C-alpha cells in the first residue's frame, strides 16, 4: 500500500513539474511576433506525417538514419509498456495484462526487447560517432561544454534505461520459472517466454536467492519508471525536446518556395501609398514599438522561436553550408543554438521578475550572434533543405540583416555601394539609366 502511494505521488509530481516547464517554454515561444501558419491544413498534415513521423529527411544519410530509427522506434513503441506499469503501480498488481493477453503479451514484450536491443546498438553507435570516430559535425567547438555533455548524458541514460528493462524482465523470468513470482495467475507455463530475458535472466540471475531476485526485479521496475519520468522532465532543458516539438514544428512549416522572402508590412504599406494615394494603411498598435528586422528574440516570430527550441544540434545544416565549408564564421546550427540560449535567458529573467522582462542590456544580435556571421550567409537555403525537422535558420539571419541595414545603417561597404547605385542609377551598377542596357548591343 505504501509503495502504491509513493508511486502515485511520484507520477503526480513528475507530471506536474513537466507541465510547469512546458508552460514556460510555451510562454517563451509566444514572446515572438504572430505569423499565420494555419493555411492548407491537408498539406501540413502530410508534411508532419512524412518528415516528423516518417523521418523522411533523415535518410539522406543512411547510417545515422538507421541508428536514429532504432532509437526512435524504441522510444515510441516501448511506451506501450508504461500503460501496464502505471496500472501495476497504482493498484499494486504485477503484469496485469498477462492473463488477458496470453501469448500476445509474450509477443509484445519480446518485440519491445528486440527494440531495446536495437536501441542499445544505436546508442553505442552514436556514442562512438561523437567520442571515438569524432564525426566533424559532431565534434565542432560550438558543441563544447553543455551541448556535448547533454548529448552524451542522454545516451548514457538510454543505456541505463535498457539495463533496467532487462533487470526487471530477467529477474521476473527466474522468479516465475522457480514458482517464486509475486504475481498470480500469469499462466501455466514454467517461463514467461520473453525472447531475450528468458536467456539473460537465468544467465545473470539464476544463482540468486528468492529475496535477492525480488529486490533485483523491483530495482529494475522502479528504475525503469524513474528513468522515464527523469527523461521526460529533462527534455525541456535539452536539445532532445525535439522528440516532442518536431511534430508541431513540421506541421507549421513554411509552405512558400524556399527562395521567397517575407516583406515588411510597414515598407509594403509605404509602397502602396505611393502607388495608390487612396490606400489607407491599417492603424498601428501604439503599444508595439516599430522596428525593422530583428535585434532580439522578441523581434522574431513565434515560429522562429519554436525552430530554436526544436533544433536537434545534429549539424546537418552547418555541414552543408557553403560559407562554413569555406572556413567562414557562419554556422546555421550556432544561429539556432544562440537563439535558444538567448530565449532561455529572457525566460529566466521573466521568472525572476514575476513574469516581466527587465532589460539586461543584452540582445541576440551582438551578444550572441555577430554581424560577421550574418553577412557570411549566401542565402542559398542549403541549411533549410538539410534540416530533418524543417527548421529555417535563414529566416532569422535575414531578419537580423534587415535590422543592421535599416536600423543601424551598418551594411558592409560593398552593399552600401549597391544601395547608392540603385538609388541614383536604378541599377546595382555604376551606370546611368540611359546606359544600363548598352550591353545588349555588344
Are 360 and 231 members of one domain? no
Q: pLDDT tens digits, residue range 336-365?
A: 999 999 999 999 999 999 888 888 889 999
Residue where one domain finishes, among candidates 251, 276, 299: 251
Q: How far is CA 252 from CA 249, 255, 388, in A?
A: 5, 9, 14
pLDDT band at 183 (very low <50, low <70, confident <90, very high): low
The three-class DSSP label of residue 216 is helix
Burial category of 306 from C-beta neighbours within 10 Å (exposed 0-12, middle 13-18, buried 19 and up): buried
Within 34-181, residue ranges assigned H as helices are: 41-47, 62-77, 80-91, 98-101, 103-131, 146-177
Domain assignment present for residue 345? The answer is yes
Both 282 and 419 in a single domain? yes
Q: Tell me, yes or no, whether 343 and 414 share the same domain.
A: yes
Residue 430 is assigned to a structural domain of this protein: no
Q: What's the number of domains the chain is made of?
A: 2
| 439 in a structural domain | no
Let me know whether 89 and 119 are in one domain: yes
| In-domain check, residue 50 | no
Whether the per-residue pLDDT at 225 is higher than 80: the answer is yes
Q: CA–CA separation, 181 vs 395, rounded Å?
A: 59
- Residue 334, in any domain of the structure: yes
What's the pLDDT score for residue 195?
A: 86
Angle 216-220-222 from CA coordinates, rounded to 5°: 115
Domain assignment of residue 309, yes or no: yes
Q: Which of 228, 251, 274 is the last residue of a domain?
A: 251
Q: pTM score > 0.85 for this model?
A: yes
Query: Whole-angstrom distance between the N-terminal and C-terminal Cα of the chain?
Result: 94
Q: From start to end of 164-313, where are the E strands?
A: none
Calpha distance 252→302 (Å, rounded): 11
Are 214 and 175 contacting, i.e. CB atoms less than 8 angstroms apart?
Answer: yes
288 is in which domain, residue-wise?
265-425
CB 137 within 8 A of CB 64: no
Q: Among 205, 221, 251, identify where a domain stops.
A: 251
Could you report the per-residue pLDDT of 41-65, keeping only the tens digit for each? 999 999 999 999 988 998 888 888 8
Q: For residues 346 and 296, what is the distance between their CA atoms, to the nearest angstrom?
A: 10
**Is residue 209 located within the same domain as residue 285?**
no
Assigned domain for 54 exists: no
Angstrom distance (rounded) from CA 196 to CA 212: 21
Shared-domain flag, residues 236 and 283: no
Other beta carbons less than 10 A from residue 185's beta carbon: 7
Same domain, 88 and 153: yes
Same domain, residue pair 290 and 355: yes
Give the separation between CA 54 and CA 390, rounded to whole angstroms.
13
Are 103 and 172 contained in the same domain? yes
For 298-320, the pLDDT digits (tens) are 999 999 999 999 999 999 999 99
Predicted local confidence at residue 167, as pLDDT: 92
Instruction: List, in sequence order, every residue forming a beta bridge with 369; answer none if it has no partner.
Output: 365
- What CATH number is given to the structural domain containing 294? 1.10.1060
Residue 197 and residue 132 share a domain: yes
For residues 181 and 210, give the distance between their C-alpha atoms in angstroms, rounded to a whole number: 9
- For residue 53, being part of any structural domain is answered with no
* Mean local confidence (pLDDT), 261-274: 80
Are 295 and 203 in the same domain?
Answer: no
* 286 in the same domain as 226: no
Amino acid at each position: 500500500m505504501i509503495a502504491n502511494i509513493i508511486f502515485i505521488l511520484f507520477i503526480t509530481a513528475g507530471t506536474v513539474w513537466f507541465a510547469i516547464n512546458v508552460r514556460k517554454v510555451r510562454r517563451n515561444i509566444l514572446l515572438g511576433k504572430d505569423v499565420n501558419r494555419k493555411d492548407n491544413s491537408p498539406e501540413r498534415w502530410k508534411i508532419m506525417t512524412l518528415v516528423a513521423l516518417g523521418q523522411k529527411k533523415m535518410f539522406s544519410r543512411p547510417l545515422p538514419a538507421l541508428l536514429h530509427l532504432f532509437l526512435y522506434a524504441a522510444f515510441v513503441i516501448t511506451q506501450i509498456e508504461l500503460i501496464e506499469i502505471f496500472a501495476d503501480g497504482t493498484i499494486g498488481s504485477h503484469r496485469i495484462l498477462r492473463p488477458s493477453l496470453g501469448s500476445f503479451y509474450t509477443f509484445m514484450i519480446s518485440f519491445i526487447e528486440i527494440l531495446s536491443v536495437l536501441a542499445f546498438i544505436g546508442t553505442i553507435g552514436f556514442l562512438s560517432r561523437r567520442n571515438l570516430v569524432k564525426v566533424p559535425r559532431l565534434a565542432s567547438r560550438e558543441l563544447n561544454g553543455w551541448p556535448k555533455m547533454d548529448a552524451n548524458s542522454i545516451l548514457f541514460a538510454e543505456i541505463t534505461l535498457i539495463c533496467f528493462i532487462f533487470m526487471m524482465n530477467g529477474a521476473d523470468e527466474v522468479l516465475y520459472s522457480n514458482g517464486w513470482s509475486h504475481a498470480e495467475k500469469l499462466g501455466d507455463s514454467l517461463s514467461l517466454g520473453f525472447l531475450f530475458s528468458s536467456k539473460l535472466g537465468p544467465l545473470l540471475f539464476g544463482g540468486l536467492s528468492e529475496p535477492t531476485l525480488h529486490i533485483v526485479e523491483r530495482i529494475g521496475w522502479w528504475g525503469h519508471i524513474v528513468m522515464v519520468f527523469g527523461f521526460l522532465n529533462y527534455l525541456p532543458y535539452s536539445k532532445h525536446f525535439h522528440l516532442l516539438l518536431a511534430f508541431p514544428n513540421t506541421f507549421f512549416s513554411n509552405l512558400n518556395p524556399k527562395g521567397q522572402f517575407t516583406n515588411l508590412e510597414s515598407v509594403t504599406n509605404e509602397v502602396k501609398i505611393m502607388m495608390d494615394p487612396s490606400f489607407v494603411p491599417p492603424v498601428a498598435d501604439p503599444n508595439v514599438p516599430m522596428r525593422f528586422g530583428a535585434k532580439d528574440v522578441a523581434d522574431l516570430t513565434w515560429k522562429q522561436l519554436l525552430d530554436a527550441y526544436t533544433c536537434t544540434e545534429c549539424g546537418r545544416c552547418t555541414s552543408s553550408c557553403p560559407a562554413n565549408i569555406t572556413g567562414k564564421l557562419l554556422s546555421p546550427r550556432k544561429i539556432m543554438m544562440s537563439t535558444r540560449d538567448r530565449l532561455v535567458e529572457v525566460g529566466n529573467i521573466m521568472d525572476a521578475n514575476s513574469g516581466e522582462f527587465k532589460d539586461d542590456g543584452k540582445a541576440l544580435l551582438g551578444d550572441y550572434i555577430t554581424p560577421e556571421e550574418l553577412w557570411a550567409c549566401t542565402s542559398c537555403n542549403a541549411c533549410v533543405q538539410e534540416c530533418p525537422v524543417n527548421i529555417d535558420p535563414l529566416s532569422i539571419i535575414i531578419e537580423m540583416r534587415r535590422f543592421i541595414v535599416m536600423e543601424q545603417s551598418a551594411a558592409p561597404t560593398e552593399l552600401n555601394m549597391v544601395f547608392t547605385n540603385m538609388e541614383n542609377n536604378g541599377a546595382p551598377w555604376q551606370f546611368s539609366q540611359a546606359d544600363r542596357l548598352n550591353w545588349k548591343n555588344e
